Amino acid sequence: MINLSLKNTPIKEIIFTISFRENVSMEQLDTFKAHPQISKKFNLINPDYNHRIVKKDDQQKVDISLDGYILKGDDTTRIIKASRGAFAFHQMKGYEGFDKLMDELSSYWSVFCEIAGQLTVNNIAVRYVNFIQMEPEQEIKDVINIYVSHPFEINMRTYFNTFRFPYKKNENVIVNLITASGMNASIHESMDTPGVFLDIILNRKIDNETDKNTLFNYLHELRAVKNDLFFKSITELTYKKYNS
């Protein structure tokens, strides 16, 4: 594969997550969700709870506390998850240009930091969920290069595999890669279509970064890692399918 790009992308969802050392107060999160720049676009608000196991009177119990908010817009293509220790931005239902998404994330993150104060980032993550359609006669090895061989004389139609490893070119980046069979509704079909989910999750530890430009340089770096992993994961047949 010479040109590492596709005319049609199988990306279904993108998530950017920024984690920080500080605990943002619920008062600050209330101020953030009410900020005009945020509330104008994200007018559907749901509480987000933290569940943790605590020991009380020699018994384990679940402690539930309000941890932040999940903010959605009317078009349901964008979600912000603002919590006490992390900030996440979701692009749903398809793909949009990376630079456009970075501009949006940058503006929302600036508002968040304006309210919360300087935040010390210690981890960033990106997640790309792809769905690759399969023809009825195809096997998983026909569409992706990640599969487990087996001695059984059947065409496996149900599978779930997960891999975790440091990225060879940058061991600060930890890769979680998941492949799973599934069904996905197509806008062009009246029924669900079978295929395989290729879920690429990248985490990069950061040494207490506060500079916004450096932070977004890391996000661009993770995008390049994602591209490398994606094109190594798909077959030539899949490449031609989505590049035609």
Contact (Cβ atoms closer than 8 angstroms) between residue 208 and residue 117: no
Edge-to-edge order in the sheet of strand 192-209: 44-56, 59-72, 78-83, 86-92, 11-20, 121-133, 192-209, 170-185, 160-167
| Parent domain of 175 | 11-242
Residue 2 pLDDT greater than 80, yes or no: no
Which residue type occupies 153? E
Count of domains observed in the chain = 1
Residue 174 pLDDT greater than 70, yes or no: yes
**Residue 106 in domain:** yes
In this structure, is the dihedral angle defined by the CA atoms of residues 40, 42, 43 and 46, taken in order, positive or negative? negative
Contacts of 5 (CB under 8 A, 6+ apart): 243
Quickly state the pLDDT bin for 210 (edges 50, 70, 90).
Answer: confident
**Residue 28 in domain:** yes
**Residue 123 in domain:** yes
**Residue 49 in domain:** yes
Q: Which two tokens stand for residue 143?
A: 């569409």
| Residue indicated by tokens 């490398």 | 228
pLDDT (tens digit per residue) in 110-137? 999 999 999 999 999 999 999 999 988 8
To 10 degrees, the CA torsion angle through 47, 81, 111, 120? 110
**Angle ∠(208,214,220) on CA atoms, nearest 5:** 115
Q: Which residues pair with 121 in a beta bridge?
A: 20, 209
- pLDDT for 59 equals 72
Of residues 52 and 146, more confidently modeled: 146
**Residue 2 in domain:** no
Least confident of 60-64, 231-235, 240-244: 60-64
CB hemisphere CA count around 212 (13 angstroms): 14
Distances (CA, A) of 65 to 89, 188, 208: 22, 42, 27
Quickly state the pLDDT bin for 147 (edges 50, 70, 90).
Answer: confident
pLDDT more than 70, % of the chain: 91
Quickly state the pLDDT bin for 25 (edges 50, 70, 90).
Answer: very high
Least confident of 1-15, 62-76, 90-104: 1-15
φ, ψ of residue 139 in degrees (nearest 5)? -110, 165
Q: Which two tokens stand for residue 26?
A: 């619920």
Distances (CA, A) of 7 to 102, 135, 228, 242: 21, 20, 17, 6
**Residue 58 in domain:** yes
Helices (H), the chain: 26-34, 36-39, 98-116, 140-143, 212-233, 236-242
Q: What mean pLDDT do residues 30-57 have?
A: 88
Contact (Cβ atoms closer than 8 angstroms) between residue 196 and residue 144: yes
Tell me the pLDDT of the chain averaged across its residues. Answer: 89
- pLDDT for 190 equals 45
**Residue 4 in domain:** no
**Residue 1 in domain:** no
Q: What is the pTM of this model?
A: 0.89
- pLDDT for 33 equals 97
Least confident of 23-37, 47-61, 95-109, 224-238: 47-61
Nearest to 38 by CA among 113, 108, 93, 86: 108
- pLDDT for 54 equals 66
Quickly state the pLDDT bin for 188 (edges 50, 70, 90).
Answer: very low
